[in-house]
Amino acid sequence: VDVKISDDKNDKVALTVETVHPVTKIARTDVISGFTPAINYIANLAPEYQLTPTSYESWVQSCVDGSEAMIATFVEKVERYLWTNSQTYLVGDAMSAADIVVAVTIALGANKEKLKLSQNVHRLVCTVVS
């Protein structure tokens, strides 16, 4: 899965999913355009994380449409959580759907408001987005 965030004025998100069938070896590429459709796609891939639209839409919208102060507050909470728990990821020792949703949300908000990210949040975003 490759998550790409463009630098255009509309803050478009495109999620590129490349899969190869294990038996036929036929490759398939799907592109999901738009932030909400991309997050919904990710949530459907990992039902065990119980990411439902009602569980993430409000804070995602806050970061995308919110003010610099709202975005900075969200980033500060994520930084505090990562620092307190000495973690790279939000849940466990491996990347989860939650990490992808949060990292992409922060990247969009920080890009929009030109915010400098703190150390742990920067590491999370770079790990997920790159």
Average pLDDT, the chain: 75
CA distance 78 to 57: 17
Give the predicted TM-score (pTM) of the model: 0.56
From the list 115, 35, 123, 104, the residue with the least C-alpha distance to 69 is: 115
- Give pLDDT, residue 64: 62
> What was the pLDDT predicted at 49?
61
pLDDT (tens digit, 9 = 90+) per residue, 54-77?
A: 766 666 666 666 677 777 888 888
